[in-house]
Structures are given as structure tokens and as C-alpha cells.
Amino acid sequence: MAISREEVLHVAKLARLALDEDELERLTAELDKILDAVGVVAELDLADVAPTPHPLDLIDVWAEDEPHESLPPEDVFANAPSEEARQFRVPAWEQ
Amino acid sequence: MSWEPVVGLEIHVHLKTKTKMFCRCPVGFGAAPNTQTCPVCLAFPGALPVANRVAVEWTIQLGLALGCEIAEHAVFSRKNYFYYDNPKGYQISQYDLPLCTNGNVLVPGSDGDLEVGIVRAHLEEDAAKTVHVGGRAGRSQGADYSLVDFNRGGTPLVEIVTAPDIHSPDDAKRFLQLLRQAIVELGVSDAEMEKGTLRVDANVSVRPAGSDELRTRTEIKNMNSFNFIARGIEAEVERQIAVWESGGTVEPQTFDFEASSGTLTPRRAKEEADDYRYFPEPDLVPLEPARELVERLRAALPESPVTRIRRIESELDLERATVLVTGGLDALWSETVAAGADDVAAANVITNNLVGAGVDPGEVSPEELAKLVSARKSIPRPAFDEAVAKLGDPDFSADPYLAQEAVSDTAEPEPIVEAILSANADQVDAFRNGKHGLLGFFVGQVMKETQGKANPRIVSELVREKLSG
Amino acid sequence: MGAVVDTLRLTAEEAKALLERGELSGAELREAYFEAIAERDGELHCFLRTVAEPDGEGVPIALKDVISTKGVETTAGSKILAGYVPPFDSTVAARVKAAGLPLLGKTNTDEFAMGSSTENSAWGPSRNPWDPNRVPGGSGGGSSAAVTAGMTPWALGSDTGGSIKQPSALCGNVGLRPTYGTVSRYGVVAFASSLDQVGPVAKTVRDAALLYSIIAGRDPCDSTTVELPEPVRLPEGDSLAGVRVGVPTELNEAEGIEPGVKEAVEQAIALAQGLGAEVGECSLPRAVRYGMPCYYLIAPAEASSNLARYDGVRYGPRVDGSSYQEMVDRTRDEGFGDEPKRRIMLGTYALSAGYYDAFYGQAQKVRTLLIQEHRDAFERFDLLVCPTSPTVAFRIGERAADPLAMYLSDVLTIPSCLAGLPGLSIPCGLSQGLPVGLQLIGPQFGENTLFRVGHALEHAIGFDTVPERWR
């Protein structure tokens, strides 16, 4: 088994996905298969190889510290599911 | 059994750049909510970060001021977690390849210097601001709901992590005072705890004095002044000692320090430790600060607070030197001494009287201050205080106040005042019956008798005193 | 005014000429495409929405629905963005607008560009114009099918592991995946940041080159973009004298390549030789065996992080909850389809404590090897060729139940994507009556070479992009 049901549950929690029982079962089987397939990368001995986070060799890209125009309020909240007093309203964090 | 506190600090410094770290929204306090936001800091689909060059440069400067090595290759990383103040679902920070590492800050001490290692200083973005509605004192516990303002989200922050080299609450305070002064003098931050531009969390453990073991540590948050930090550390040290001495074990925990009661409130333990799944930020490219840039910034560093404390220490004492330097007052002090004032006296006047009167040291003429310092024992106290309070005024001159040096003693004019009053009994009666304008007459008579040498204010007080009897 | 517009055959270049000569007005041209959409989109379902009165008098265009368009709904093929109207234009949409190209509408896509068939779209699949019972490819099946079906002269798609190239192969048109960094990703709904690139879909190589020249170039809003080292050259001429064409064994002999596909590609390579190209064999030893596993670690890892912003707080439909956590969990569970969930889970796992080194970390090292392999091959060759897709268009539903089988559709496009290299797919023949795509892989910034070779081959092959059933 490349991945167990408990691990799948743990990962779902990290990813904030509320999986139901069916999904959990199906995903565990699918992920197991996929991880087996992608796990072949472990075959290669790459101890002396540096990772490549970027296919381009760019460094030092930045912008000057000059302000741009911010979004007007209509645009900020046009798609907001819940707004109050010009702020985004969310349910409280469960302690 | 005696115990030694082992403290490391995590400091967040809010850089006072004009714009945010990864977008060009303005940074500033007091704006209406969500008016300094854009697709990037609101994390709209497809938005991408672009690094603020000035923030990078200031971080390098700050690192240099802390004695750090500046990385030849630094990388931004994503720190992944869900929270409503973190709109992307990850914070762009630095993880395994930060900009600055391996520095140290020397904290001069009367019984030996403390060297505090700086493990790293890295650059990241701040979270948004949340207001909790319906909860206890605006806290998230028990709140009905929360409101999020993204104005602050994305502000550049430098996170400084010290080694656990601090061994007393007082040392923590002194270290922070020095650190803060260094930061302010660089001009990269206002570093004010009350305004949240400087935030400090403490990692605390204890160990038997003399050993070098590292026991379990706890974290204390929510301390918003240097005094509270010292008290918070002290409270936690006491608590931990009690646990160990009673045969228990200290558990890893996070506490909030409640300033009003001086108590530590534990935060509810999370079910699982956060797994931030750090990986290099693919939307940004690595930083490779040119060595010429680093050397140029190093050369432009102002003289460090510690260097100045050391220099002044030899003329004064460590305590006065520290107070002067960490208060940003030593430049004025040096100039005032150079203008002829006594060094200890100048230090006292500056740190007590000047600061107490709320005068801006930057507005003070050292020459005029030197005159006042030299005359402080010979001019009347009220005159001195008034002069000090006005030192910040444009074109202030100490001379009028020095003229009052002539007779400042009440002993000398007192017999003369009595004589004048006895010789002018009618005017005394008239004064007592309401003709208060006669005060000037009496004072004038005394001044005539003393050929103008008496201190008119002292005379006036004496006259009033005697006539009110 | 009023030339008859045969949108099935009209190229963008021809349309441009008609407009410039005044033989057609911008409005008439747009009208012709809206008519084609009315006629054929009911069957093919390429468009998620059309724009009633688009601005611009130039050659109309369609954009894949992962590309933000200000004021026009952009869903990335997902319910979690249903109703989301961006308050800003992506850079590519802005550049297209600045060039005067009117936006016809947004095209269908696999959800968050994750897929190889457009069956993962929350709004239902698109269909292949050659055979509506078959997939148009993915994730950009909507854009590709729309071009072939004459519903738009050209379109923009996005390619992460082959999402432009593979649909072009399956629909029988031209698709370019540009060199990573030459086209801005700002405003493009992110799937995998180190792999995503926007590119043109068109009927001819010259059209693709023209559209590429409009969108390419450094964008200050995207830190991972660069200026093109040389300007785009519209290709001309038929000679391939002096061009060294490499044929990587592994990409041409991979398991799963259909005989009909192999044959069509071999014929195209022979044609290239006939035009003067020097053809030789080369090897990309790890590309096939490790390319797909590497991709299916890196892409989901980046995606798991990129998709964390879909939490119901600032946009998109929210599913309520008694707490923030519950609200987010439910919003994401209901809003995301199966494939994004799968990839989010896979990616989160690959990055998680204890697994990072073996999975994500290792994959980034494999990437280094693949970059090096390609670089070595380009010492001896100007471009590499192989099939774009191992198979012709498969039936709708055929692979939907088997994620791994679906992933294998990309086995030939993935390696050069990981290396950040450009790839052009041109139709090179038919197999079982369905289009076969030839993939031309270039070195970094080698687009002009790809255009030159693609154009010459295109002429020599003479593929008719109009599906047989409509001739």
C-alpha cells in the first residue's frame, strides 16, 4: 500500500477538503495507484543532482517601491460572498 | 537547585516602505478598510507577486546591522496554511535559504557582555487584519463572526530569530532596546510595539544553572511592550521552575500574556502540529544580492549603538551610556559636551529634564544646551525648567535665563524685602486691601536697593509670601 | 462589403487582409463567427459564454476560460468560480484587446486546466468536430474544437503538460506551447506555476506565429517572464535545407503509440527530409519513463498550493458553515470536481512532512536531468520531432474512469514542458479518419525555428483542417 486511509484523511484535513465516506474510499484507491506509478522517481539515485524549481535561469526580478492605484471598493467586493462594513465577513474560527 | 532561564526571541519588524512586499498597494495606517488592496494582495485568481526592491535592500541592511552574513542565493518559499487573514492559503516567506544568517548582537552589561546570536533574518509578508465580533474583548474565542480587512495584508516584514542566548528577563529587555534603536537608526522601520510595527514572541525554557542542556520550551505571545516581555518571561520562568521542581515535565505550549493580570493564558493545543509544506515559491525567482551592493550597504551603515555605548561608557558609565544611546540621545550629548558642558551633568539633564519635558532632541542647539547645563545650579529652578522646555523652539537662546543667575538665593534678598515692607506700611495695607498692582512697586524698591542684582522672580515670591501672612 | 465568409476555411491572416482591404467590416466578420457558433456550438459545446457586443474591429478571438477577462465571467471550468467576474484583465487578454481583437467568448476547459479530454469541465464536455462522440482533447478542448469548427479563427489556450498541443493534435489544427517565460501568466488562473504557459491555437502556423507575437514578451506583473531575445519572424518558404531534425527514440517508440499515429509521423519526417532537412536519431533516456511521474508530482504539488485560495471568503459561491473551518471545508468539497480534488490530495501529500524529499524534492531533481537531456540533444539538432499524442481522439467516457490512463495521454508532451521548452503541434495526417498531430520541440526561445519548420511542413503535408463531415 502506497498510502493508507488514515494518511488520506490527514491529507484531506491539511487540504481542507471535507470528503465523505465514498470519496474517501475511492480516493484512497486512486491515490494508491497513482502514487505507485509516480513513485518510480525513487529508482533514480539523485544525491548529487540539484533540484530545478524554475526552468528559466532568472534571478533578481523586482519592482520599484512606487505605489499603484488600489482597486475601488466596487471591484473589491463585487464577487464577495459576504460583506459587512466594507470588510469580508467570515464565520468565526472554531477553537 | 538554582535555575537559569533560556530565552530566544522571534521578532517581526514592519518595514516602512511605501508599498507592500509583493504588490504596489500603498502601506499606511488609518485608511478605510479594504481601500489599499488589489488582485494580488486579495489573492484573486491569476494574481502574481512581484518583489519590492527596497524591502529587499532594507532587509540586507538590517541583516548587516545585526552582523549577519548575506546569502549569495536566497529564495522565497511558500508557507501553506488556511486562515482567513491569509488569502492565498499560503504566506510567501523564506525557509531554507533566507537572506541573512549567522549574526550576533553584543549587549554590553555591567557584569559582562551578552552575545546574542542571530540565527536568521528573513523577509516575508504580513497577514491581513481581523476584527472579531461578539467575542470576549474582541478576541476570536467565543466570537460570532469575524471581519477581515486586507489593507495590512502584504506589508513587508522582516522576521528575526535569535539563538536561545538570553538568560534573564532584563537581558531580553536590554537586547530589545538595542535592537530597536539599531532598526530605527537605519530608517527602515518605526519599530513601535504599541503600533504593532515591532512584534516580539519569546521562546522560554529553563535549565539547571551551569548546565548546557536544552529542555522543552514554550512560546509566549501577545506581549506589546518591552516591560511586558520581561514580565511575561519572568512569569513563565517561574512557572516552569515550579513544574520541574515538583517532579513534573514542562509540555510544549503557547501562552498569551495578559498584561492587566500579569498571567499567562495557555492557548488551546492544536490537534496536530501544523505541516506548512514549505516549497520554493515558483512565482518568484531567487535573489542573488551582488557583493558590490552588499558592501555599499555595509559602508553606509550608521555607527552601531553598541559601538557608541562602548565609547561613551568610558566617559560616563554603562548605564548612562545605554540610556543615551538607546534613547537616540547620544549625538546631542556628544555635541553638548563638546560645547563645554560637563559630561555627567549633560547626560543627566538630557535624559531627565529634556526627555521629561518632551523636547525633540533633534531641534536642540548643543551650544545653548551646554550653557544651560553649566548654569543649572546657579539659575533658579523654575527658570531652568522653563528654559529646558523651550530648548526645542527655533532660535532659542539661553542667555536671558542665564541673566537670572545673579541672585538666585532667597537668603540674600530676604532682609531687604523685610526692610522695604516695613518702610512702606501704607502700601502694604493698600496691597492687602486689593491693590495688587503694588507688587511691582515693592519688587522695584528691592531691585533698587540691590542695584538690580536680585532675582526679580525670587523677590516677587518673597514679597507675596510675606504679604499673604 | 459583404464577401462571403467561410469561417471553416478562413485563416486569421486572410481575415486580417479582408478587413484591411475593406472587403469586410469588423461587425460583419464577428457576425459570421456568431452565426457559426449558433450553428455548431449546440453540438460541440465549445463556448461557456459569448460576449454580446465585443469591442475591437480586428480579427475576433476566443479565450480559454482560465484566462481572466475583465467584466466577463471566468470560471476555469469549475463550479467553485461560478459567477466570478474578474475586476481586471489578464495581461494576455489586455494585449489581445490592445491589438483590437474582439472577444467572441470564453471556451470550455477541464476544471482548472486539469485533464486531457475536457471531460472534467464542471459544465460538461466539449466534442471533437471530426467526430462528436469523441473528445477534443484537453484541457483546452474548447478552444481547439472552436478553431477547427470555424467558430473562431484563432484562440488562446493554456498548456501545462500538453493542454494546447494535445487538443490541437486531436482536433487537427496548430497549437503552440511557448518557451516558459515568454508569455505572461498574470491573470491566468494558476494550475502549476512553473509549467503553465498561454499560447495560440490556430489553423495555420503563420496564424499561430502572428498571435504569439501579439501576446509574447516580458510583463512587469509576472516575475517569471523575459523579453524575447529575438522578434517573432512570420515563416515563409518551403526549404528545410540545413535544418537538423532529431528523432528521440523514446518519444517515438513509447508504449501506447497507435500504429496509425506512428505511420503518419514517419511520413511527415520523410517529407521533412525531402525538403532538405538532415534527420537523425537521438535519445532522451529518461523522458518517457520518468517524465510523467515527475510531472504528476510537481504539477499537483504546485496546484495544491495554488488552489488553496478557493475558500469562499472573497469570491466564488460559498457554502455556509457554523465555523470558518466548516465553511471552507464544505465550500471546497462542493465546489471542486474529482480531478482537482485528486490532484490537490496528491500534491499535498507530495509536499507533506516526511514525504517531501522522496516525492516533490526528488521530482525537482528528475526535472534537472530532463532539462540536461534536452540540452544535450539540442547540441546536435535544431529541433526534435515525435507524435503529439500517442493516440487519435478517444471516445467520450473511454478513459474518464481511469485517471492513470487519462494521464498517459500526455506522456509525449510532458517531458519538454518540464524542461520549459516550446512545442508546436501541426496536423500531419489521418489515422482511422481522425487527425494525427506532429510535435515539433524546440530549444529555449526556439519558436522561430519551430515556425519555419512547421510552416514548410504544413505546406508539404497539405492537411485539410476542415473535418471530412463538413466538406
Q: Kindly provide the ipTM of the predicted complex, given to two decimals.
A: 0.96
Nearest to C390 by CA among C407, C375, C377, C402: C407
Residues of chain A contacting C196 with CB distance shorter than 8 Å: none
- Which of A76, A77, A79, A84 is the mutation pick for testing B, counting most B CBs within 10 A? A76
Q: Please provide the distance, in angstroms rounded to a whole number, between the alpha carbons at the two ends of chain B.
A: 66
Map chain B to HEC letters.
CCEEEEEEEEEEEECCCCECCCCCCECCCCCCCCCCCCCCCCCCCCCCCCCEHHHHHHHHHHHHHCCCEECCCECCEEEECCCCCCCCCEEEECCCCCCEEEEEEEECCCCCCEEEEEEEEEEEECCCEEEEECCHHHCCCCCCEEEEECCCCCCEEEEEEECCCECCHHHHHHHHHHHHHHHHHHCCCCCCCCCCCEEEEEEEEEEECCCCCCCCCEEEEEECCHHHHHHHHHHHHHHHHHHHHCCCCCCCCEEEEECCCCEEEECCCCCCCCCCCCEECCCCCCECCCHHHHHHHHHCCCCCHHHHHHHHHCCCCHHHHHHHHHCCCHHHHHHHHHCCCCHHHHHHHHHHHHHHCCCCHHHCCHHHHHHHHHHCCCCCHHHHHHHHHHCCCCCCCCHHHHHHHCCCCCCCHHHHHHHHHHHCHHHHHHHHCCCHHHHHHHHHHHHHHCCCCCCHHHHHHHHHHHHHC
Q: Residues A72-85: what's their mean pLDDT?
A: 96
Cell 485528486 belongs to residue: C342
Whether the pLDDT of residue B163 is over 80: the answer is yes
C96 to chain B nearest CA, in Å?
17
Give Cα A64 to chain centroid, integer Å: 29
pLDDT category, B405, cuts 50, 70, 90?
low
User: Do B113 and B162 meet the contact criterion of CB atoms below 8 Å apart?
Assistant: no
> Which cell numbers hold the place of B362?
533633534
Q: Torsion-angle region of residue C387: left (phi > 0), alpha (psi -120 to 50) or beta?
A: beta
- Quote the CA–CA distance of C10 and C465 in Å, as a whole number: 11
Nearest to C221 by CA among B341, B372, B177, B50: B50
Q: Residues B28-42: what's their mean pLDDT?
A: 95
- Rounded to whole angstroms, what are the CA distances from C283 to B184, B348, C244, C370, C385? 60, 81, 15, 11, 12
Whether the pLDDT of residue B406 is over 60: the answer is no
User: Do C146 and C152 meet the contact criterion of CB atoms below 8 Å apart?
Assistant: yes
Q: Which part of chain B is CATH 1.10.10.410? A: 413-468
Whether the pLDDT of residue B272 is over 80: the answer is no
Residues of chain A contacting C290 with CB distance shorter than 8 Å: 40-41, 44
pLDDT for the residue numbered B410: 55
Q: Closest residue of A to B274, CA-based?
A: A14
Yes or no, beta carbons of B84 and A88 under 8 Å apart: yes
Residues of chain A contacting C223 with CB distance shorter than 8 Å: 58, 61-62
Residues of chain C contacting B78 with CB distance shorter than 8 Å: 305
- Which of B268, B271, B277, B281 is the mutation pick for testing C, counting most C CBs within 10 A? B277
Reply yes or no on domain A5-42 having CATH 1.10.3470: no
pLDDT category, B469, cuts 50, 70, 90?
low
Residue B395, Cβ density class (10 Å: 0-12 exposed, 13-18 middle, ≥19 buried): exposed
Indicate the helix (H) or strand (E) that contains C288: helix C287-306
| H helical segments located in C336-401 | 338-351, 362-380
Q: What angle do CA B158, B276, B27 make, to 5 degrees?
A: 35
Can you tell me whether residue C343 is helix, strand or coil?
Answer: helix
CB half-sphere exposure, C403, CA atoms < 13 A: 23
- Quote the CA–CA distance of A71 and B39 in Å, as a whole number: 8
* pLDDT (tens digit per residue) in B340-383: 899 899 999 999 988 888 888 888 999 989 988 888 878 878 88
pLDDT for the residue numbered B401: 81
Q: Residues A79-89: what's their mean pLDDT?
A: 97
**Taken in order C322, C324, C329, C334, is the CA torsion positive or negative?**
positive
- Quote the CA–CA distance of C167 and C410 in Å, as a whole number: 11
- Given B37, B145, B287, which is nearest A91 (Cβ)? B145
> Which cell numbers hold the place of B19?
508599498
- Which of A71, A75, A89, A95 is the mutation pick for testing B, counting most B CBs within 10 A? A71
Mean pLDDT of chain A: 93
> Which cell numbers hold the place of B451?
542695584
> For B223, phi and psi rounded to 5 degrees?
-105, 120
CATH number for the segment(s) C12-285+369-470 = 3.90.1300.10
> Which cell numbers hold the place of C122?
464542471
- Quote the CA–CA distance of C10 and C62 in Å, as a whole number: 15
pLDDT for the residue numbered B443: 85
pLDDT for the residue numbered C76: 98
- Rounded to whole angstroms, what are the CA distances from C236 to C443, C452, C455? 20, 7, 7
* pLDDT (tens digit per residue) in B282-296: 999 999 999 999 999
Nearest to C412 by CA among C287, C295, C279, C296: C287
pLDDT for the residue numbered A11: 95
With pLDDT > 70 as the criterion, what percentage of chain A qualifies? 99
User: Do C245 and A77 meet the contact criterion of CB atoms below 8 Å apart?
Assistant: no
Residues of chain B contacting A60 with CB distance shorter than 8 Å: 285-288
Please, which chains are in contact with A (at least 3 CB pairs closer than 8 A)? Answer: B, C
Q: Residues B63-91: what's their mean pLDDT?
A: 97
Amino acid at B360: D
- Quote the CA–CA distance of C201 and C425 in Å, as a whole number: 10
pLDDT category, B398, cuts 50, 70, 90?
confident
Mean pLDDT of chain B: 91
Higher-confidence residue: B459 or C6?
Answer: C6
pLDDT for the residue numbered B457: 76
Residue ranges, chain C, pLDDT below 50: 1
> Which cell numbers hold the place of C399?
478513459
Q: Closest residue of A to C328, CA-based?
A: A16
pLDDT for the residue numbered C1: 46
Cis peptide before B374 (omega within 30 of 0): no
pLDDT for the residue numbered A71: 96
Q: What Rg, from alpha-carbon coordinates, does chain B have?
A: 30
pLDDT for the residue numbered B400: 81
**Cβ neighbours, 10 Å, residue C237:** 11
C437 to chain A nearest CA, in Å?
25
pLDDT category, B404, cuts 50, 70, 90?
low
CATH number for the segment(s) B413-468 = 1.10.10.410
Q: What angle do CA C219, C206, C237 make, to 5 degrees?
A: 125
Cross-strand bridge partners of residue B218: B204
> For C323, phi and psi rounded to 5 degrees?
-140, 165
User: Do C106 and C73 meet the contact criterion of CB atoms below 8 Å apart?
Assistant: yes
Whether the pLDDT of residue B135 is over 80: the answer is no
3-state helix, strand, coil in chain A (%, to 5): 40, 10, 50
pLDDT for the residue numbered C87: 98
Domain boundaries, chain A: 5-42
- Given A70, A73, A89, which is nearest B25 (Cβ)? A70
Amino acid at C438: L
Q: Torsion-angle region of residue C60: left (phi > 0), alpha (psi -120 to 50) or beta?
A: beta
Q: Torsion-angle region of residue C420: left (phi > 0), alpha (psi -120 to 50) or beta?
A: left
Amino acid at B66: L
Nearest to A30 by CA among B286, B7, C296, B397: C296
- Quote the CA–CA distance of B308 and C181 in Å, as a whole number: 50
Q: Residues B317-324: what's their mean pLDDT?
A: 91
Domain boundaries, chain C: 12-285+369-470
pLDDT category, B453, cuts 50, 70, 90?
low
Strands (E), C283-398: 383-387
Higher-confidence residue: A61 or B436?
Answer: A61
Single pTM value for the model: 0.91
Cell 463567427 belongs to residue: C33
Spell out a b/e string for B92-102, using b for 16 or more CB atoms within 10 Å of the CB, else e: bbbbebbbbbb
- Across the beta sheet with B254-258, what order do the strands follow? B69-70, B100-107, B114-125, B156-162, B3-14, B198-208, B218-223, B254-258, B263-266
- Given A8, A49, A55, which is nearest C369 (Cβ)? A49
Indicate the helix (H) or strand (E) that contains C471: none
- Given C192, C315, C328, which is nearest B44 (Cβ)? C315
Higher-confidence residue: B262 or B59?
Answer: B59
